[in-house]
Structure 1
Amino acid sequence: MLINMFKKIGPGVLVAAAFVGPGTITVCTLAGVRFGYTLIWAVLLSILATMILQEMAGRIGVVSQNGLVDVIKDELKVKWIKNTIIGIVLGAILIGNAAYEAGNIGGATLGLEGLFGQKGLASFYPLIIGGFAFLLLWFSSYKTLEKIFVGLVGVMGICFVVSAILTKPSISEIVKGTFVPGLPEDSLLMVIALVGTTVVPYNLFLHASLAKEKWKSKNELKAVKWDTIISIALGGLVSIAILITASAAPLQDVSNVMDMAKGLEPLFGKSAIYFMGVGLLAAGITSAITAPLAAAFVASSCFGWDEGMGNKKFKLIWSLVLFFGVFFLSFDITPIQIIQFAQIANGILLPVMAILLLWIVNKKSIMGNHKNSLIQNVLGFIIVGFAIFLGTKSILKVIGLF
Structure 2
Amino acid sequence: MDANALTKRKKFLSKDTLLMFGPAWLVMMADMDASSYIGAAQTGATLGYGLIWLMLVLIIPLYVVQELAGRISIATRSGLGEVVRENYGKRVASIVAMPMALTDMFTYGIEYLGIGIGLEIMGLSLYYTIPVIYIIHILIVTRKRYNQAEKPLLIISLILIVALLASLFYRGIMPLSSPMSNPLLIKPAAGYFFLLAANVGAVIMPFMIFFQASATGLKLTDMSKIGISIKSHRSVKIMRRETLVGAIVTELLMVIAEMAFTGIPHAASSSFFATPQELGKVLVPIAGSLSPFIFGIGIIAAGFIALITISLGSAWGIAESLNISKKSYWLVYVLESLPAVIAVIIINPSSLIALVLYLLIFFVFTLVAPMIMLWIIGRNKKIMGELVLSRKNEALYLAMFILIISTAVIAVATSL
TM-score, normalized by length of structure 2? Answer: 0.82
Tell me, yes or no, if the aligned pair for 1:102 and 1:325 is still in contact at 8 Å.
Answer: yes
Note if 1:108 corresponds to 2:120: no
SS in structure 1 of the partner of residue 290 of structure 2: helix
Note if 1:162 corresponds to 2:184: no
Distance 2:40 2:160 in 1: 15
Distance 1:374 1:34 in 2: 41
Note if 1:366 corresponds to 2:383: yes
Change (3 A) 1:312 1:11: same
* Residue of structure 2 equivalent to 1:330: 345
The aligned amino acid for 1:197 is A
- 1:89 Cα deviation from its structure 2 partner: 2.8
* Residue of structure 1 equivalent to 2:198: 193
Distance 1:51 1:134 in 2: 30
* Residue of structure 2 equivalent to 1:292: 311
* Residue of structure 2 equivalent to 1:37: 49
The aligned amino acid for 2:301 is A
SS in structure 2 of the partner of residue 197 of structure 1: helix
Distance 1:280 1:393 in 2: 30
Note if 1:89 corresponds to 2:96: yes
SS in structure 1 of the partner of residue 50 of structure 2: coil
Change (3 A) 1:175 1:13: farther
SS in structure 1 of the partner of residue 324 of structure 2: coil
- 1:252 Cα deviation from its structure 2 partner: 6.4
- 1:170 Cα deviation from its structure 2 partner: 4.1
Distance 1:86 1:349 in 2: 14
The aligned amino acid for 1:297 is W
* Residue of structure 1 equivalent to 2:321: 302
Question: How many residues end up aligned between the 2 structures?
Answer: 385
Note if 1:234 corresponds to 2:249: yes
More displaced 10-residue stretch of structure 1: 318-327 or 211-220: 211-220
Residue by residue over 1:366-398, the C-alpha shift from the partner in whole angstroms, topping out at 9 and shown as x without a partner, is 22222223442232111121233245457x57x
Change (3 A) 1:122 1:184: same
Distance 2:237 2:119 in 1: 39
The aligned amino acid for 1:58 is G
Distance 1:276 1:286 in 2: 16
Note if 1:208 corresponds to 2:213: yes
Distance 2:280 2:384 in 1: 48
Change (3 A) 1:340 1:143: same
SS in structure 2 of the partner of residue 372 of structure 1: coil
Alignment of 1:264-283 (within 5 A): 264-283=283-302
* Residue of structure 2 equivalent to 1:18: 30
The aligned amino acid for 1:208 is A
Distance 2:110 2:205 in 1: 15
SS in structure 1 of the partner of residue 49 of structure 2: coil
Change (3 A) 1:318 1:391: farther
Change (3 A) 1:7 1:275: farther
- 1:240 Cα deviation from its structure 2 partner: 1.1
Q: CA RMSD in A?
A: 3.2
Segments of structure 1 that go 5 or more residues without pairing to the other structure are none
Stretches (4+) displaced over 6 A: 173-176, 333-336, 338-345
Residue by residue over 1:186-241, the C-alpha shift from the partner in whole angstroms, topping out at 9 and shown as x without a partner, is 20010000010111122111110001011244132212112212223222222111
- 1:158 Cα deviation from its structure 2 partner: 0.7
Change (3 A) 1:290 1:12: same
The aligned amino acid for 2:58 is S
TM-score, normalized by length of structure 1? Answer: 0.85
- 1:176 Cα deviation from its structure 2 partner: 8.1
The aligned amino acid for 1:376 is N
The aligned amino acid for 1:245 is A
- 1:254 Cα deviation from its structure 2 partner: 4.2
SS in structure 2 of the partner of residue 367 of structure 1: helix
Segments of structure 2 that go 5 or more residues without pairing to the other structure are 1-8, 222-229
* Residue of structure 1 equivalent to 2:142: 138
The aligned amino acid for 2:135 is G
- 1:93 Cα deviation from its structure 2 partner: 2.0
Tell me, yes or no, if the aligned pair for 2:311 and 2:333 is still in contact at 8 Å.
Answer: yes
* Residue of structure 1 equivalent to 2:367: 350
**Percent of counterpart pairs with the same letter?**
21
Distance 1:17 1:340 in 2: 19
Tell me, yes or no, if the aligned pair for 2:121 and 2:292 is still in contact at 8 Å.
Answer: yes
* Residue of structure 1 equivalent to 2:225: none
The aligned amino acid for 1:192 is A
Change (3 A) 1:181 1:23: same
